[in-house]
Structure 1
Amino acid sequence: TLTLRASAAAAHAGETHRAVSLTRAALARAGSDADSELAARVRYTLAGNLMRVDSLKAAFTYSSEALAMIPAEPPSHTWVWAAATHVMAARYMGHDEDAERVARQALRTAEELRLADAQADLIISLVGLEDHNRRAAEGRERLRQARDLARRAGNVSVEMRALFNLAIGAYESGALDECLTWLAEGLERANRSGLVSSPYALELRYLQSLILYTLGRWDECARAAAADAERLPPAGGFAVGPALYVALARGEEGAAERARALLDGPFDWMATLVAGIVLTDAAALRGDPEGAVASVRATLASLSDGSGNGRPDIGVRLAALALSAVADAAVELRLTGDGAGARRWADLATELVEVARSTAAKGEDGSRQGPEGLAWLARAEAEWLRAHSGPEVAAWEQAVAAFDYGDPYELARCERRLAEALLVADRREEAAERARAARDTAVRLGAVPLREELDTLIRRGRLADSPSAADRVPALTARESDVLRLLARGRTNRQIGEELFITGKTASVHVSNILAKLGASGRTEAVAIAYREGLVEPPRDSRA
């Protein structure tokens, strides 16, 4: 019992491999003649710790043993928690029918025994098994109920699990402002409970850093990472991973080496994911398609657990990043007349786009991906076309529109490709607008490599002298144009959000971006500039 408590303390401190070691020691000490209840507790505790270090097959084995050691009748606390742990392990192994059957039986027993925290844990698992999962509003409402149950029971670990699922569900559905709200609550709860290094607290910290990166709040992302670096446990290095994405995008030396260092030591799923993203993108940025493809293959092989589940969701992003370098190689060889070489790279592009397509259609949980995954798929499709036949305007327009959900850096990278495609199509004014809009974003973010690429494109394409509205104001995204149109009609942020099916906070962010791009001090001035520049049509009764 003491060793089990020590393993729980290790897990709360972020020492997950130490927790596994201690629980194995408890299993060895229990012996074959231990009572069935204690034996079951040791095994389901070990299963839970093994899941945290991504040893999923072993976790399923021990959770199955625990469930078999103690009868479901008469109802007992130990059987309920053994069942709750088995449900999670079965889900990881792709045994969804078994997981759902056990979860519903255990939920009824937990309700009968009035085990509110076990009810909460089982509700969280069931939300992941149902159609109204964490991406849906109905699913997140059930997760809020689970949070409240766990809080009333005083089980902070289960409460943190509920808050993590609320946050990641909002992120996966593109509701970034809602995601930040849940993240703030979860991290505040972790700080007050002394669980800042626990597994879900580290996941929340990573997600918060990722949101700051995605929203283009890169200085905040870097500052948060610097503050966290010294207080995180060694196993929590992945939590500041998005700061490595910032460093790479800004051209800082050593970003790839720091990412590679995350692979040292025992295998960690999240650290492998972060390193894979950085190393794949780094290879693509330095024009190394072989290195980019090798990184994709190695990362996906490491992240696959043989459970029979779909390919890890990150496969879409990794494939799109590598496709950029592969398409560059195919284009270059076509230009030099090496048709055979170009076809080899085009065939590899087809292999990569199939990874993106299959992953987007059926990811880790068997469902289609949300806005971020579909945006990466659109970019992968556009790169695949570029590898086969050259840049396609329509494909890059789709990629730009897809990333308009709230990722300015990837939006700018797609706008750069769109500018190239427009230039090839001899649509020079539009190409100039897109190139300058992307350059404005690169300058604001401090993304030096992207800015330099755009400067080269503008110079070689002689776009600097192209007359366009970009000479007067930076180009607005499609979503910003919609917001500006409603702004001109006097709508409030809340009203804009309701009409465009976004949150009021997201509308506020778009309004702020519009004011910055137009150089306006307020909403009224922004509308006046928009009328003057022809960005929106004034009301008929206001025309002279």
Structure 2
Amino acid sequence: IVSSNRAGAHDGVAHLIAHGHRRIGFIGDLPMTLRGSAAAAHAGRLHRAVALTRSALAELGQDADSELAARVRYTLAGNLLSVDSQTAAFAYSSEALAMIPEDPPSRTWVWAAATHVLAARHVGENETALRVARRALGVAEHLGVTDAQADLLISLAVFDGAGRRGPGGRERLVKARDLARRSGNAPVELRALFNLAMGCYESGALSECVPWLTEGLDRARQAGLLSSTYPLEMRYLRLLVLHVLGRWDECLRAAAADHPEVPQTTGGYTVGPALYVALARGDLGAADRARALLEGPFDWMATLVAGIVLTDAAALRGDPEDAVRWMRSTVTALADEAVPRPGVTVRLAALALSAVADAATGLRLTGDEAGARRWSDTATELVEQARAVATHGEDGTPQGPEGQAWLARAEAEWIRATKGPDAAAWSEAVTAFGYGDVYELARCRVRYAEALVAAGRREEAADEARAVRETADDLGATPLREQVDALVRRGRLSDASGDDDRAGTLTAREQDVLRLLALGRSNRQIGEELFISGKTASVHVSNILAKLSASSRGEAVAIAYREGLITPEPTASG
């Protein structure tokens, strides 16, 4: 969910960045052009690297040495992968591999093959990628090209079997890290360290990520590669781990410390977890800062971060249409030929479903069955996407603990949208987020408490609410604290929890007014039925809205029905 499609894409040029400029050249300004391309990639100026490598290709004459022509092409392919241009990258890597024979074995063929493995994988040619990787690994071992051997081991660790989450993948990655270090190829070493950290994250071993990330960023700093692709990915992942573990102040400090070192032209996405913190603490300006990430050339990770923030922001302000729009547009932007639905689809669907479920519930409780059905249909569409991605993942295998947790939340929101709050479904979501995501666990516990109130299990609901209050206070998540406080008032959980604070409960007169609101009465009609003035009725309505944290009469009624403050009037048919 958190890693980009290009995670791994830059690896094919790792050898070139470290060594290529020493081996390619002898005509015109080609050596200088390729040095400039490598320097641009080092500095994180990926589109500049592509432009310079295209320029090098244009400098090649018709009678250029085939090995040299192949090197320039696989260099261009690797750079194109780094800017998410997978189809073009595959075309150039195919050309490069076709230009030089596999026999007799050569270093150039090995590196062309290593780049082709990545390009093939990114366009969905998985069998080709595995076949070429295994063959090239044998050649690299035979020739003693240690850094290429390391690069290919990483590809096999990520693509083969259980991938980097499994023990076999981790063993390959550690071996690759050691081989790359001995060869002096820092970019390949960084690729191994990033994938070791990602494997820990995807398996739910959050604390085990930190040592790999620390080692990787220290190595990048020593090598002068902090602005290249993998260190940028590691910066994002380090902040994400801090966010998930609930170490929010530490996350913000680390993001601020990283800011001067992140290039302005790329890498802005690395502060994404700091935006997640800001939004959760009530800073709606985080949405504007996320939207700014979409400016300029397309960047996969920037689009992912912006999509998460903007979808969640829309849900938090109760705008289901905007939440669904951002979810859909983000999935479309991140999709490609090989991965029509990226892994983050599960998270985006769950976030959008929160707003959709609110809308469906509110309409159903106010009698708008047609409107409720429309949102229920949308909810079904979204949960089906979440199920497909979480079950099959980007590589055909089920997602790890994080993906399964977001799926559990999506399922619970779908039930809430189509049928109503379900305590069992929310209990499953709470259990699923127990792998370590502090904030999302608390958000699910609020919904679980709401479902418990609806089921009449008020003491259990009070316990959940109390735990959420503690988490919200620890995190500084003011909106979450306000949400749970509103639930305590609406559900009258203060007495169930032994708390004497009953200031938020409705008076008997307000209960009468609320019942008439549910029947669609105007202020004047409420006054007539209760023998009070319309103005007094208006005051009671305002008090009810404030106590229920509702922005409208319809929302107040929906909340009241959901929390069991009033019960539906029987119809003529019973």
How far apart in 2 are the matches of 1:126 and 1:118? 12
Q: CA shift at 1:71, angstroms?
A: 0.7
CA distance in 1, matches of 2:91, 2:393: 24
Contact preservation (8 Å) 1:433, 1:468 = no
How far apart are the structure 1 equivalents of 2:190 and 2:39? 16
What is the match of residue 65 of structure 1?
A: 95
Does 2:179 correspond to 1:149? Answer: yes
CA contact (8 A) 2:124 2:337 kept: no
TM-superposed deviation, 1:310: 5.0
CA distance in 2, matches of 1:470, 1:101: 69
Name the residue aligned to 2:496. 466
CA distance in structure 2 between the aligned counterparts of 1:31 and 1:168, rounded to whole angstroms:
43
Which one-letter code corresponds to 1:426 in the other structure? G
Partner of 2:459: 429
Question: Does 2:199 correspond to 1:169?
Answer: yes
What is the alpha-carbon distance in structure 2 between the residues aligned to residue 313 and residue 253 of structure 1?
Answer: 26
Aligned residue identity for 2:311: T
Are 1:406 and 2:436 an aligned pair? yes
Correspondence for 1:299: 330
Q: What's the secondary structure of 2:387's corresponding residue?
A: helix
Do residues 160 (structure 1) and 190 (structure 2) align?
yes
Counterpart of 2:262 (choices 216, 232, 236) is: 232
Aligned residues: 470
Of all paired residues, the percent bearing the same amino acid is 70
Partner Cα separation in structure 2 for residue 127 and residue 139 of structure 1:
4
The letter for the 1-side match of 2:325 is: A
Q: How does 1:36-435 map to 2 (within 5 A)?
A: 36-234=66-264, 235-307=266-338, 309-435=339-465
- Tell me if 1:20 matches 2:62: no
User: Which letter does structure 2 place at the counterpart of 1:365?
Assistant: D
Partner of 1:479: none
Deviations 1:81-102 (A, max 9, x none): 0000000110111111111111
Counterpart amino acid of residue 191 in structure 2: R
TM-score for the superposition, normalised by structure 1: 0.85
SS in 2 for 1:404: helix
What letter matches 2:112 in structure 1? A
Q: Distance in 1 between matches of 2:448 and 2:66?
A: 65
Distance in 2, matches of 1:204 and 1:218, equals 17
**4+ aligned runs moved over 2 Å, structure 1:** 467-471
- Does structure 2 conserve the Cα–Cα contact (< 8 Å) formed by 1:437 and 1:470? no
SS at 1:267 equivalent: coil
- CA apart distance, 1:411: 0.4
Cα distance in 1, alignment partners of residues 335 and 461 from structure 2: 41
CA separation in 2, counterparts of 1:384 and 1:140?
Answer: 36
Match of 2:559 in 1: none
Give the structure, 1 or 2, with the largest relative contact order (CA under 8 Å, sep 6 or more). Answer: 2
Quote the Cα distance in structure 2 between the aligned partners of 1:93 and 1:199: 20
C-alpha contact (below 8 Å) 1:119/1:146 kept by paired residues: yes
Q: Write the distance in 1 (CA, Å) between the matches of 2:340 and 2:165.
A: 18
Counterpart residue type for residue 261 of structure 1: A
Paired with 1:122 and 1:366, the residues of 2 have a C-alpha distance of: 21
What's the offset of the Cα at 1:177? 1.1
Residue in 2 that maps onto 1:529: none
1:433 touches 1:469 (CA, 8 Å); kept in 2?
A: no
**One-letter code aligned to 2:389:** T
Q: Separation in 2 of the partners of 1:32 and 1:123?
A: 35
Structure 1 equivalent of residue 557 of structure 2: none
Checking the alignment, whether the CA contact within 8 Å between 1:147 and 1:159 is kept in structure 2 is yes
- Distance, in Å, in 1 between the alignment partners of 2:159 and 2:307 is 28
CA distance in 1 between partners of 2:169 and 2:117 (Å):
18
- Quick check: 2:494–2:500 contact (8 Å CA) kept in 1? no
Q: Is the 8 A contact 1:396 1:414 kept in 2?
A: yes
**CA–CA distance in structure 2, aligned partners of residues 228 and 296 of structure 1:** 29
Deviation at 1:469, TM superposition (A): 11
1 CA distance for matches of 2:500 and 2:480?
Answer: 18
The residue type paired with residue 239 of structure 1 is: T
Q: Measure how far apart 1:428 and its partner are.
A: 0.4
Distance 1:291 1:467 in 2: 37
Q: Tell me the distance in 2 between the aligned counterparts of 1:398 and 1:284.
A: 22
Find the residue that maps to 2:496 and give its secondary structure: coil
CA–CA distance in structure 1, aligned partners of residues 361 and 499 of structure 2: 31
The equivalent residue for 2:526 is none
CA contact (8 A) 1:37 1:70 kept: yes
Shift of 1:52: 0.6
TM-score by length of 2: 0.81
Indicate conservation of the 8 Å contact 2:204/2:400, yes or no.
Answer: yes
Unaligned runs of 5+ in 2: 1-30, 502-574
Q: Which runs of 5+ in 1 are unaligned?
A: 472-544
Shift of 1:192: 1.1
Superposed displacement of residue 468, structure 1 = 6.0
CA distance in 2, matches of 1:192, 1:447: 37
Contact in 1 for aligned 2:364/2:372 (Cα 8 Å) = yes
Could you tell me how far 1:133 is from its partner in structure 2? Answer: 1.2
Structure 2: which amino acid aligns with 1:71? P
Q: Are the structure 2 counterparts of residues 178 and 196 from structure 1 closer, same or farther at C-alpha, using a change threshold of 3 Å? A: same
Distance 1:216 1:256 in 2: 21
Larger mean CA deviation between 380-389 and 224-233 belongs to 224-233
CA deviations 1:338-374 (Å, max 9, x no partner) are 1111011000000000110001012222211000000
* Contact 2:118–2:129, Cα closer than 8 Å, also in 1: yes
Is the Cα–Cα contact under 8 Å of residues 235 and 270 in structure 2 kept in the other structure? yes
Q: Aligned letter for 1:254?
A: G
Report the CA distance between 1:128 and its aligned residue: 2.1
Q: Distance in 2 between matches of 1:405 and 1:319?
A: 20
Q: Contact 1:262–1:272 at 8 Å: present in 2 too?
A: yes
CA distance in 1, matches of 2:499, 2:128: 60
Conservation of the 8 A alpha-carbon contact between 1:378 and 1:402: yes
Matches of 1:4 and 1:320, distance apart in 2: 45
What is the SS of the residue equivalent to 2:493? coil
Letter in 2 for 1:399: A
SS of the residue corresponding to residue 154 of structure 2 reads: helix
Looking at structure 2, the residues matched to 396 and 279 of structure 1 have their Cα atoms a distance apart, in angstroms, of: 24
C-alpha separation in 1, matches of 2:386 and 2:309: 18
Name the structure 1 match of 2:520.
none
Amino acid at match of 1:97: E
> Conserved in 2, the CA contact under 8 Å of 1:442 and 1:451?
yes
What pairs with 1:494-513 in structure 2 (closer than 5 Å)?
A: none
Q: Report what 1:538 is aligned to.
A: none
Distance 1:470 1:156 in 2: 62
SS of residue in 2 equivalent to 1:317? helix
* 8 Å CA contact retained: 2:44, 2:263: yes
Give the counterpart letter for 1:271 in structure 2: A
Report the Cα distance in structure 2 between the residues aligned to 1:217 and 1:13, rounded to whole angstroms: 30
Deviation at 1:306, TM superposition (A): 2.1
Question: What is the letter of the counterpart of residue 189 of structure 2?
Answer: E
